[in-house]
Structure 1
């Protein structure tokens, strides 16, 4: 079992690291994130100019190619400075390109993948229902009724990030109420975000503020048959194949955040003096930094292992859930210790420790809560289902 990167992967990592330091430094990302009312279009444009939206999209559709390992490397390097603003890239590259690449027809791929690869099509996801949270199936009230030439969709979604600036929204809706099981009768729509009846309202929140999460109202929205992904009624089975990638992406983001936390903690520990010496000479500060470095190593090993399994095509659902749980908890713990190390400056909006904490606290609850992850792991070990 060898997790060493190839020469191509190392060269890609080093290129991305240089680009991030030059084009997306922490102080700029901090200013972008603070502006809750404005989406970070300037950041999007830089990613577009660099061609990064093509990562993971096949060359035949205008992309750069690359497997989950390349996506993981990019996500980690970018999250080191961008934190939660990683999803400026991630929503279109994961939610859009990954979904179209797997579920899309040749015509749909031709329509949507080239503009995604070029950075000309912005994607949002509408999955969570008001009052639903992790219980997506139990709370699903958004309904799609079949009509001539397409569907009429009515309902509401919550935490639909970037919906107010999106070109397309990936919407999960119930299309059949007469089903034996809750995961039957669901359909996935790649909805035109500018359609009549689509309304997005900004939701103020703790972290990733500039991404602009929204409540989404769908009032008799018409979606043509050509914008349905996969077979109607079978969406849940289709989506299962992308869940591991989502958790790996979260793991890479959290690891990148830990990288950023450790980087800043070390710099501050040597710069800041108290009682006549650098605080990095104090044993407790050294212990805090040692803990952060250990969480970094633990997360990196698990991330590389799960990505390696996924790249080989092996079933890694349990391991991907473990990664999501461990990575999100380690990132939050690391950022919290980082705040403690910086003291008052860690609490200040002039530094990034508070941003790393705010941006990653949500990942203990989404895309699936860590409590539900633990339930799933226990069930995989033969224990009875707890929900």
Structure 2
């Protein structure tokens, strides 16, 4: 089996290498680390124009339909230049694009994927919690209760990358607190970050300042049942 990249993938990496060298020199990266808490909008827009956010979005939703190897081969170049930029971009590519493409409903795909491909929709992942990090089965306590056609979410997340700039927070919660088998009691909701009851605070960090981590508080945050991913 040949694991070498294709000629097209190598050309893509070369193009992105040139882009990063021009748009992300060390002087700019140092300045951003001292002055901003997320990727500057100008750089985000240029990445969108380059097609970075469209790589893994299917063509029927305005993307390029590239496979995961191609998307990651390109993403690796960004990682080489800046961890902070890679974290911000990766949150949308991984927690947004991949989640919605593989698990989303047709309605969710039509609503969200075109915006991601155009660089207009950003994502973060609401998973880690204060009591036990990413111990999903043992320590996760944020929960959602069915109320009519909605679910009401209460709880707290911590160290959530880029939540303060996200349009959606892909939030994992307990939806069946009486189920003794925790793996069957969890659900994920695509939570719009501007909903009432949602509070987001950035957390001071030692480094990687150009992509802040956040605390996210959910107090009676009401989302429609259609915001659930999967079951």
Are residue 183 (structure 1) and residue 192 (structure 2) matched? no
Secondary structure in 1 matching 2:138:
helix
Who is 1:108 aligned against? Answer: 108
Does the 8 A contact of 1:131 with 1:139 survive in 2?
yes
Does the 8 A contact of 1:59 with 1:65 survive in 2?
yes
Are residue 156 (structure 1) and residue 153 (structure 2) matched? no
**Which 5+ residue runs of structure 2 have no aligned equivalent?**
none
Describe the superposition over 1:251-309 as per-residue Cα deviations: whole angstroms up to 9, x where unpaired: xxxxxxxxxxxxxxxxxxxxxxxxxxxxxxxxxxxxxxxxxxxxxxxxxxxxxxxxxxx
Secondary structure in 2 matching 1:136:
coil
**Which 5+ residue runs of structure 1 have no aligned equivalent?**
232-387
Who is 1:70 aligned against? Answer: 70
Who is 2:11 aligned against? Answer: 11
5 Å matches for 1:31-50? Answer: 31-35=31-35, 37=37, 39-50=39-50
Which structure is higher in RCO with an 8 Å CA cutoff and minimum separation 6? Answer: 2
5 Å matches for 1:256-267? Answer: none
Shift of 1:79: 1.5
5 Å matches for 1:70-219? Answer: 70-219=70-219
Secondary structure in 2 matching 1:88:
helix
Shift of 1:77: 0.9
Shift of 1:39: 5.0
Describe the superposition over 1:4-36 as per-residue Cα deviations: whole angstroms up to 9, x where unpaired: 221111111111111111222232122212335
Normalised to the residue count of structure 2, the TM-score between the two structures is: 0.95
Shift of 1:38: 5.4
Provide the C-alpha distance between the structure 1 equivalents of 2:223 and 2:213, rounded to a whole number of angstroms.
Answer: 23
Describe the superposition over 1:63-113 as per-residue Cα deviations: whole angstroms up to 9, x where unpaired: 112112112211111112122321221111110010000111111100000
Does the 8 A contact of 1:127 with 1:171 survive in 2?
yes
**Structure 1 residues 6 and 56: alpha-carbon distance in aligned structure 2, compared to 1, 3 A threshold:** same
Does the 8 A contact of 2:92 with 2:124 survive in 1?
yes
Q: Name the structure with the higher helix share.
A: 1
Describe the superposition over 1:99-149 as per-residue Cα deviations: whole angstroms up to 9, x where unpaired: 000111111100000000000001111001112114222111111000111
Does the 8 A contact of 2:84 with 2:210 survive in 1?
no
RMSD: 1.4
Structure 1 stretches of 4+ with a deviation exceeding 4 A read 36-39
Provide the C-alpha distance between the structure 1 equivalents of 2:38 and 2:2, rounded to a whole number of angstroms.
Answer: 44
The structure that has the greater radius of gyration is: 1
Provide the C-alpha distance between the structure 1 equivalents of 2:10 and 2:39, rounded to a whole number of angstroms.
Answer: 32
Give the count of matched residue pairs: 231
Q: Name the structure with the higher strand share.
A: 2
Who is 1:328 aligned against? Answer: none
**Structure 1 residues 90 and 37: alpha-carbon distance in aligned structure 2, compared to 1, 3 A threshold:** closer
Normalised to the residue count of structure 1, the TM-score between the two structures is: 0.58
